[in-house]
Amino acid sequence: MPIELKVPEVGESITEVQIGTWKKREGEGVAMDDSIVEIESDKATVELPAPAAGTVTKILKASGEKARVGEVIGYLEPAGSAAADPAPPAAPGGQPVVDVKRTGSRVDIGSVQMSPNDGSRVMPAAARVLGEAGVAASAATGTGPGGRVTKEDAIGAVAAAKAPAAVSKPAPVTAAATVPARIPGAREERAVLISPIRRRIAERLVEAQQQAALLTTFNEVDMSAVMALRNKFKDVFLQRYGVKLGFMSFFVRAAVEALRAVPQVNAEFRDPHIVYRDYADIGIAVGGGKGLVVPVLRNAETLSFAQIELGIADFAKRAADNKLKLDELQGGTFTISNGGVYGSMMSTPIINPPQSGILGLHAITDRPVAVDGQVVIRPMMYLALTYDHRLVDGREAVTFLKKIKDTIEDPTRLILEV
């Protein structure tokens, strides 16, 4: 009995999604919990796992199409159900029979049953590969569930069958094998469907510009002390906690202290009220597989350096794999964005509404600065704070950024909380 593949619940109030990349094709075998297809919403991308081992028999929604939550988008034939099907006749000598039908350029290949003493079964995709190449199914060794011959097994068998001919007589190089040169001055265009996440990012950025009174103030920070401290303890830190000591944990801790000193930056404008918070949920902007996402470190004021670094490393890994959970992307009170990892010298970041502030970090560069009346070379970084002027005045914004600067330039303040 085929199993229906349905669009899962991907978050509160989300009723429609976009079908992303199908990881498995029709006729391809899957193991239980294998990722079958990506489901994209305007807030996150989730993967639909296989509810059982078997074969994807039908895909109803192609990549890019819309689907409702709970809608059937495909079918999966469980592995056990195929065993009840009658086996096709075997050729003399116990060889399996491959039924190949050609209609124009299309090849239809029926199910292939191995010889009775073999006990394994050729998957439909594998049968297609073997049939088109004219290779017997017995030449493939099944590595799939229950000894089934997968498409990869079939490709390997075909390659092995053709290997002797390739060694004895190399295939001639023809003009068709060469890659056509790009025509100079060609004016090509590609239309790519906007993903729900990218559309939502665009909407929120425009919303921030239209609904908040945004202003950015700048400062610069000498990174010498933090770099020296990091170099001194990075090996011990890695050995003890299993994660590298980065600069972001220093800035998260510095931001927590600055938010305590200037609570307006940690507040939210809810007309006719201003809501102040005594906790700090810090969003960390990371590049995901489908675009920029901002997972949140909850109660960052309670986290140690190791907990912060472990959390950020976990976010970055799962963001690249599109495996962040929806609730991890919601509810932040302040955001830190590090454009310096891409080489940014200076920028004006845009707040993540309804937050009131975002701290932008930039590249560390050696620059001449005046220290105690002397010109010296120091590793310097520009800082940018974009804030909502409806809640935060210029004095508070400058005070906040100066607090960040003082803490980073003398990180012992993080221990003494001064």
Q: What is the CATH number of the domain that holds 339?
A: 3.30.559.10
Q: pLDDT tier at 47 (50, 70, 90 boundaries)?
A: confident
| Chain center to CA of 167 | 42
Question: Catalytic one among 99, 118, 389, 406?
Answer: 389
Judge whether 393 counts as a catalytic residue. Answer: yes
Q: Say which residue, 224 or 70, is predicted with more confidence.
A: 224
Residues 335, 218 share a domain: yes
Number of domains in the chain: 3
- Examine residue 342 and state whether it is found in any structural domain, yes or no: yes
Q: Report angle CA 299, 266, 313 to the nearest 5 degrees.
A: 40
Convert the pLDDT of each residue in 293-305 to its tens digit: 899 999 999 999 9
Convert the pLDDT of each residue in 200-254 to its tens digit: 778 888 888 888 899 999 999 999 999 999 999 999 999 999 999 999 999 999 9
Say whether pLDDT at 62 is over 50. Answer: yes
CA–CA distance, 280 with 261 (Å, rounded to integer): 12
- Examine residue 253 and state whether it is found in any structural domain, yes or no: yes
Mean pLDDT of 80-99: 47
Say whether pLDDT at 173 is over 50. Answer: no
Mean of the per-residue pLDDT values for the chain?
82
Mean pLDDT of 382-397: 96
Residues 94, 75 share a domain: no
CA–CA distance, 209 with 115 (Å, rounded to integer): 69
Convert the pLDDT of each residue in 395-417 to its tens digit: 999 999 999 999 999 998 887 66
3-state secondary structure of 121: strand
Q: pLDDT tier at 121 (50, 70, 90 boundaries)?
A: low
Convert the pLDDT of each residue in 33-44 to its tens digit: 888 998 888 767
Please state the pTM of the whole predicted model: 0.62
- CA neighbor of 347 nearest in space, from 384, 398, 388, 389: 384
Domain boundary, last residue among 31, 63, 81: 81
- Examine residue 173 and state whether it is found in any structural domain, yes or no: no
Residues 372, 293 share a domain: yes
- Examine residue 183 and state whether it is found in any structural domain, yes or no: no
- Answer for the pair 34, 9: CB distance below 8 angstroms, yes or no: no
Residues 370, 223 share a domain: yes
- Examine residue 381 and state whether it is found in any structural domain, yes or no: yes
Can you give the residue range of the structural domain that contains 17? Answer: 3-81
Question: Catalytic one among 99, 235, 393, 410?
Answer: 393
Amino acid present at 280: A
How many other CB atoms sit within 10 Å of the CB of residue 268?
Answer: 16
Say whether pLDDT at 94 is over 90. Answer: no
Judge whether 321 counts as a catalytic residue. Answer: no
Residues 14, 115 share a domain: no
Say whether pLDDT at 87 is over 50. Answer: no
- Examine residue 191 and state whether it is found in any structural domain, yes or no: no
Q: What is the pLDDT of residue 45?
A: 77
The percentage of residues in the chain with a pLDDT greater than 90, rounded to a whole number, is 44
Convert the pLDDT of each residue in 316-353 to its tens digit: 998 888 788 878 988 899 999 999 988 999 999 999 98
Q: What is the pLDDT of residue 108?
A: 44
Residues 155, 206 share a domain: no
- Answer for the pair 15, 95: CB distance below 8 angstroms, yes or no: no
Residues 375, 246 share a domain: yes
Q: What is the pLDDT of residue 208?
A: 85
Domain boundary, last residue among 161, 189, 217: 161
- Give the domain CATH number at 68: 2.40.50.100
Say whether pLDDT at 93 is over 60. Answer: no
Residues 204, 310 share a domain: yes
Convert the pLDDT of each residue in 256-289 to its tens digit: 999 999 999 999 988 889 999 999 999 999 887 6
- Examine residue 376 and state whether it is found in any structural domain, yes or no: yes
Q: Say which residue, 79 or 231, is predicted with more confidence.
A: 231
* Of 129-133, 153-157, 227-231, 339-343, highest mean pLDDT: 227-231
The percentage of residues in the chain with a pLDDT greater than 70, rounded to a whole number, is 81
Q: What is the pLDDT of residue 100?
A: 43
